[in-house]
Structure 1
Amino acid sequence: MKALNYIKTKINILAAAVLVVVSSTSCLDYLERTPESVISEEIAFLNFQNFQGFTEELYHCIPNFTTNYWTASWNWGDDEMVSAAGSFHVTFAFDRGNFWAWQVEHSGHGGQASWMDRWSANTNDNPHTKGLWPLAWYGIRKANQGLENLHRMTDATDEERALIEGQLLFFRGWFHFMLFQHVGGLPYIDRVLPGDEQLREGRLNYHQSAERAAADLRRAADLLPINWDNTVAGRRTLGRNELRINKIMALAYLGKNLLYAASPLMNLESTGSRTYNTDFARRSAEAFGELLDLVESGQTQYALMPFDRWHGLFYTMGQNWALSGGTETIFRSLYWSGDQSNWGITKQYFPSIIVDGDATKFVPTANFVNKYFGMANGLPLPADITQVDPESGYDPEFPFRGRDPRFYKSIMFDGMQVVQGSMPPNQEDNRFANLFTGGSYRGAVSGSPTGFVNRKFVPLTANAYDNAFAFGAALHLNVPYLRLADVYLMYAEAALMGHNSVMGKSTNFSKTAVDAVNVIRQRAGMPDVLPRFTASVDLFLEEIKRERAVELAFERHRFNDQRRWMQFIDRPYNLKTSIEFTRAPESEVGGDPTQMRVLNLREQVLVERPLADRHYWLPLKVSDVTLYPEFRQNPGW
């Protein structure tokens, strides 16, 4: 909590109506502020306009993990692999068991490219300077400062007071949850800690931490509106309220916080049991049920995006840098309009043979694609992908035929046409994805080491020839923190495990756990969950896990899902593999790539991550755990 110690000494009072202009050539410490720059607490918190100006900085404490570095790493499970050129990234270090790499102090081994940490609590607009650890502690202090000054908001309506209090409570709960989901139970700071007070805040266990966050998020949900545009205060900023914290966001994170607390890893940390905690799971289902009932009854601005516009969840192009996400995204970070850092991020997926710029590439692992992206009929691939499966229709000579529609939306595979426009004659061979063993799209350093490429977050035209990442194309990538499909799937998990029944449901929503999963499958054109997978709670839980892997692939959820399920450190979850094959002699690119015949198909282990029990929690900073004895380090670190 070095960041917390620093934050204790920094007090910022901001008002929307007052701008303090400081020369770009000077850096005044807060203790050296000029008299005219000081705003009294009575003025800063007097009315809604001023108090909202103070509160707005909390939104700038949300790191944009998508654009947090020149090339950005946020998938740390078994789902993604970084090429050897990205050896400075967290993913590379984590694959080798070095979990210290999330910290900026270890920047030579990944910390500099981690959205989790930065040197200071910097809330300016540059996403490259924002890290979760320092900004969360700063945000918690600021939220507490606001809550302790609510009584000064005398020139305001009840609605305005509720809007301010709701935002402050949400952020206090959200920042705590974002921290303890990664490192385990923490002190829950609900007051402004005096700068001259010796720190003695002991770590709570995970359940205690989750209960405190749940209280804040529940109260925030009760205070906040569904849509700010429908409030008197919100109508002053009509059409610009999309990112403002609302009831749906608070309910979503209330449910997620409770589901995490219910999960085996968190339950083990708190009670010693590796099972689900049914009480937390039931409460989670109730929070999600309240949210989903509001959505399905048409009372919110949220709805699932049509599948033919699914990519709009993650990027926009030719829309004047419009924020992606559509009606489905519930929570996301702020962004720059025309954020230049998108230029690097949009180039980190396709191999260097067709993309200039940084050689670092992030690609799907073959183990993840083969295990979770099944067939269009709802059946998985066989465990041994070299074998024919007559029931599912899988044929190892045509491994890309008849797959889940989301496979084709998310994954670039061998033979797909990538370059759409003209290219030099001597480069024509690279118009199509040469992802067979030894193909031009393969490579350990700046190509795909696994035989697959991620196409979920960028259009196929994001290559050096079609040039979709040119500034004029306005390609804008921003992966959401949380979207509605995730809520349906978390509801299904919570209802299943809270009621120990595949027909489990909350008291406030009509759909069962199975129904909720089917909503997501139907949107993608998939059949409902097959009866064989609803024969028991355990079978259906594994099907929910598979559905989460496919629907939410590469969106930053897999690492935490694997950890909380305690499916992280052991085989096969610690393996990262490639797919190896040759094209059959008669196969010709240019037609339907799903019909290309391949030979000698096999998987090959590229990395076996050296993981142990200690890797279920990130290590805390040495500089923090040495501040005082009660802030202890995580076991094994």
Structure 2
Amino acid sequence: MKQIYKTLLWGSLLSVMLGLFSCEEYLEKEPESIISEEVAFQNFTNFQGFIEEIYNCIPDKEKKYWTSSWNWGDDEMFNLEGNFHMTNQVDIGNFWAWQNSASTWLDDDNADPTSTDKMRHGLWAHAWYAIRKANMGLANLDKLVVATQEEKDIIAGQLYFFRAWWHFEMMQYFGGLPYVDEVLSSSEKPTLPRLTYQECADKAGADFAKAAELLPIDWDKTSVGTNTLGKNQLRANKIMALGYLGKNYLWAGSPLMKNGAQTGGAQTYNYDEDYCRKAATAFGELLNLVESGQTQYALVEFDYEDVYNHKKTSTAANKYSDMFYTTGQNWLMPGSTEAIFRGPSTDYNGSNWNTTKTFGPKVKGLVEHDNIIHHPTANYVKNYGMANGLPLDDPESGFDPEYPFKDRDPRFYHDIVFDGFKYINSTMPADMEYLRYTGLHTGGTMRNPADGSRTGYFIQKLVPHTANKYDGAYNWSFNMHTYLPYMRLGDIYTMYAEACAAFGGATGKAANFDKTAEEAINTLRDRVGAGHVNAKYTGDKNKFIDEVRRERAVELSFEGFRFCDLQRWLLLTEYPYNVKTSQEFDRVEDYDFFKDNDPRNARVANFREEVILTRQFGTKHYWFPLKISDTSMYPEFGQNPGW
């Protein structure tokens, strides 16, 4: 972050805080003991330097640890050696494992807000600290006298945005919290009560709305932004504020937040329509600005000459995979024109220690380093329907279990490595040739649960399959940089559709945007060349919501959103969302078939699923447990139910 914002950075301000306090210590700090108000807030440059540290605190989900975990829903599991990761700990119900853990981005046992080390930043570890900084800044806005109105608005807008953002990110996992909107004194006993989720959302919504009023769409087009022209992509702006304003209200209107934690799934379509209308309005304003060409954001293209190798056509301006990783672009941060909100990612080659080495087979050292592998579950891969837009289980979809990989949603071929896929493109030793094409059938060469796939699939959405020993995409010369955005434009379209569907079904729409919920989903399907939502799903509100949810599962697969989606839909405890399965089948084609034919055309036999595990969840698992050290501070800051 210091490299990105060095023009505006006032160095001594960024380094005044030498350590991160616990929640209790945070509450006890006086502003005067941290920084000189007269120095920090006297002009725009100094005030912005004070704010820069908040940006620096944003965790990098993928690179938080040597091998990291961020998918905790029904979407992913690790090979056996990765069972210490949070994904497996959630599977066995050990939600306490998030605390003081270096291997999950929710927390960190050695956090430091001033560090540019990707491993020193966790959500809970920094949130209260960053919120306090935002409150300190807001309390001292009157000291910003040597500044233009534009500068004052931008400073205030960032502070309101971050006060809400850090609260919202915690609320997703822990529920309603004390909403801290003032600088607390150490001389008084804290008494701020835990609010309900919706009470918190109201306060966050007010802050996001203020931020949206104050912030520019594009810093590059402001007088302030000319000082860092071309380096303003990560700065909080109006589009980010509107996106989170909508997300905040959609979450507040979701079934869990309206009806409370419960099992049975009976309330999964029961939304709070008032909150959903507010969400739709915020998303509508954002999408109207985007589609009218008033912003720097646009959907990236899905136009591939070779989708398996993520090779775009010569006429495509950008490509889908640029949102998640870049190669050969001088370590360019991923995101392209679609990423809306991202944190810093200054350790560029840090992607290769070891994110890029945790998605492929470790058989015979095919992918080097730690024996940790992210696997997509077979139950989740089923969300990738057919190219005609129908889900696999629709009788008219055309899905054929003898040709299960044929005519699937185009994103399936971009995201998922399946049996017979040409995994190695380069020359390899003769005794390794048998591993060039993936053996992911039952008993295949890459189905050992220790160093192959437990599920019958691999993921290559976030890291290309060429990140292997022989193709060498994770070598220095390829300049590979990975990063997961917190919010992107595809995410906005799915949330807009869900918010509108909650109160109006497929034809629901915001008053300030022309597209209906159905049209928003079809915008994403048009992007990839998949069929529109079929009419049989648009006439029934609940069936259409199911299609919206399936679209969200495919479009945002493995990006870290699935757990919170199942949670807020009251489906986390329900079958089939509480099982993780493998894909089992027998090969009919011989090895030579895959040398000359597209693997999607291979015929198989006995195509079936087998359950690997069932998650035994109850109502308490809808929220993570808070730290005992924090809930013990004062009676009003209570623990989540059941923990």
Question: TM above 0.5, one fold?
Answer: yes
TM-score (norm 1): 0.91
* Code of the aligned partner of 1:306: E
- Alpha carbons 2:102, 2:109 under 8 Å: kept: no
Q: Are the aligned partners of 2:390 and 2:531 in contact in 1 as well (CA < 8 Å)?
A: no
> Is the 8 Å Cα contact of residues 267 and 273 (structure 1) preserved in structure 2?
no
Question: Residues 122-133 of structure 1 correspond to what in structure 2 (within 5 A)?
Answer: 122-123=112-113, 124-133=115-124
SS at match of 1:346: helix
Work out which of the residue numbers 33, 39, 44 in structure 2 matches 1:43: 39
Deviation at 1:505, TM superposition (A): 0.8
> Match of 1:602?
608
User: What secondary structure does 1:43 align onto?
Assistant: helix
Task: Please say if 1:284 is aligned against 2:279.
Answer: yes
Deviation at 1:394, TM superposition (A): 1.4
Would the alpha carbon gap of residues 27 and 396 (structure 1) be closer, same or farther in structure 2, given more than 3 Å must change? closer
Deviations 1:184-225 (A, max 9, x none): 100000011112321211100011000000000000000000
1:21 and 1:161, CA in 2 relative to 1: closer, same or farther beyond 3 A?
closer
Q: 1:202 and 2:214 equivalent?
A: no
**Equivalent in the alignment of 2:109:** 119
Superimposed CA distance per residue, residues 354-394 of structure 1 (whole angstroms, 9 cap, x where no aligned partner): 21111111110001112x111111111128xxxxx5x3221
Q: CA deviation at 1:535?
A: 1.2
- Corresponding residue for 2:545? 541
Q: Which residue identity is paired with 1:428?
A: E
**How far is the alpha carbon of 1:289 from its aligned partner?**
0.2
Counterpart selection for 1:366 from 357, 365, 378: 378
Q: Cα distance, 1:112 vs. partner?
A: 2.9
Residues 373-392 of structure 1 mapped to structure 2, 5 A cutoff: 373-382=384-393, 391-392=396-397
CA–CA distance in structure 1, aligned partners of residues 116 and 513 of structure 2: 40
> What does 1:149-548 correspond to in 2, within 5 Å?
149-269=140-260, 275-308=270-303, 309-353=319-363, 354-370=366-382, 372-382=383-393, 391-498=396-503, 500-548=504-552
Q: Does 1:101 align with 2:97?
A: yes
In structure 2, the CA distance between the partners of 1:421 and 1:121, relative to structure 1 (3 Å rule), is closer
Counterparts of 1:28 and 1:113 in 2: how far apart (Å)?
A: 18
Indicate conservation of the 8 Å contact 2:175/2:623, yes or no.
Answer: yes
Question: Hey, what's the Cα distance between the residues in 2 that align with 1:501 and 1:194?
Answer: 48
Aligned to 1:617: 623
Aligned partners of 2:189 and 2:35: how far apart in 1?
28
Determine if contact 2:403/2:600 at 8 Å carries over to the other structure: yes
Distance in 1 between the 2:20 and 2:214 partners?
38
Alignment partner, residue 9 of structure 1: none
Whole-Å Cα distance in 2 between the matches of residues 28 and 336 of structure 1?
A: 20
Q: Does the 8 A contact of 2:374 with 2:459 survive in 1? A: yes
Counterpart CA distance in 2 for 1:198 and 1:506 is 45
* SS of residue matched to 1:289: helix
CA distance in 1, matches of 2:257, 2:568: 7
Letter in 2 for 1:303: A
What amino acid maps onto 2:80 in structure 1?
A
| Shift in Å, 1:38 | 9.1
* Distance in 2, Cα, partners of 1:250 & 1:27: 29
Decide whether aligned partners of structure 1 residues 329 and 28 sit closer, same or farther in structure 2, where only a CA change above 3 A counts. Answer: closer
Residues 1:230 and 1:28: Cα distance change in structure 2 (over 3 Å): closer
Give the Cα separation in 1 of the matches to 2:72 and 2:250: 21
CA distance in 2: counterparts of 1:188 and 1:27, whole angstroms: 23
- Mapped contact 1:496–1:504 kept (Cα < 8 A): yes
Paired amino acid for 2:559: E
1:502 CA drift (Å): 1.8
- Amino acid of the structure 2 residue aligned with 1:64: D
Could you say if the C-alpha distance between residues 128 and 398 of structure 1 is closer, same or farther in structure 2, counting changes exceeding 3 Å?
same
Deviation at 1:527, TM superposition (A): 1.7
Q: Distance in 2 between matches of 1:160 and 1:71?
A: 41
Q: What is the aligned counterpart of 2:594 among 589, 610, 613?
A: 589
CA distance in 2, matches of 1:40, 1:635: 42
SS across alignment from 2:399:
coil
Cα distance 1:586–1:234, how it changes in 2: closer, same or farther (>3 A)? Answer: closer
Taking the aligned partners of 2:118 and 2:507, their CA distance within structure 1 comes to 44
1:536 is displaced (CA, Å) by 1.1
The separation in 2 between residues aligned to 1:407 and 1:152, in whole angstroms, is 54
Moved more, 305-314 or 192-201: 192-201
Distance in structure 1 (CA, Å) of the matches to 2:192 and 2:397: 56
| Secondary structure of the structure 2 residue equivalent to 1:254 | helix
Contact residue 283 and residue 492 of structure 2 kept, 8 A: yes
Deviation at 1:120, TM superposition (A): 4.9
% identical aligned pairs: 50
Post-superposition shift, 1:623? 1.2
- Secondary structure of the residue aligned to 1:589 is helix
SS in 2 for 1:538: helix
Matched, 1:19 2:12: yes
CA deviation after TM superposition for structure 1 residue 101, in Å: 1.0
Native 8 Å contact 1:206 1:269 kept in 2: no
- CA shift, 1:398, in A, is 1.0
Indicate conservation of the 8 Å contact 2:333/2:483, yes or no.
yes
Alpha-carbon offset, residue 495 of structure 1 = 1.0
Q: Distance in 2 between matches of 1:286 and 1:211?
A: 15
Q: How far off its partner does 1:343 sit?
A: 3.1
Q: CA RMSD in A?
A: 2.2
Equivalent residue letter for 1:431:
R
Kept after mapping to 2: 8 A contact 1:321/1:337? no
- Deviating 4+ runs (over 6 angstroms): 20-23, 26-30, 270-274
Q: Which residue of structure 1 lines up, in the alignment, with residue 312 of structure 2?
A: none
| One-letter amino acid of the counterpart of residue 635, structure 2 | P
State the one-letter code of the partner of 2:541. Answer: V
Partners of 2:175 and 2:197 within 8 A in 1: yes
Distance 2:398 2:261 in 1: 45
Q: What is the rounded CA distance, in whole Å, between the counterparts of 1:22 and 1:543 in structure 2?
A: 49
Shift of the alpha carbon at 1:533?
0.8
Alignment check: 8 A CA contact 1:64 1:127 kept: yes
Unaligned runs of 5+ in 2: 1-7, 26-32, 304-318
Distance 1:28 1:188, change over 3 A: closer
Asked whether the 8 Å contact 2:20–2:111 carries over to 1, the reply is no
Query: Residues 284 and 397 of structure 1: is their aligned pair in 2 closer, same or farther, counting only changes over 3 Å?
Result: same
Give me the whole-angstrom Cα distance separating, in 2, the residues matched to 1:201 and 1:518: 45
- 1:110-135 Cα shifts (integer Å, max 9, x gaps): x3311000125412111111110021
Structure 2 CA distance for aligned equivalents of residues 599 and 194 of structure 1:
69
- TM-score, reference length from structure 2: 0.90
**Displacement of 1:17:** 3.6
- 1:72 aligned to 2:63? no
Deviation of residue 585 (structure 1)?
5.0
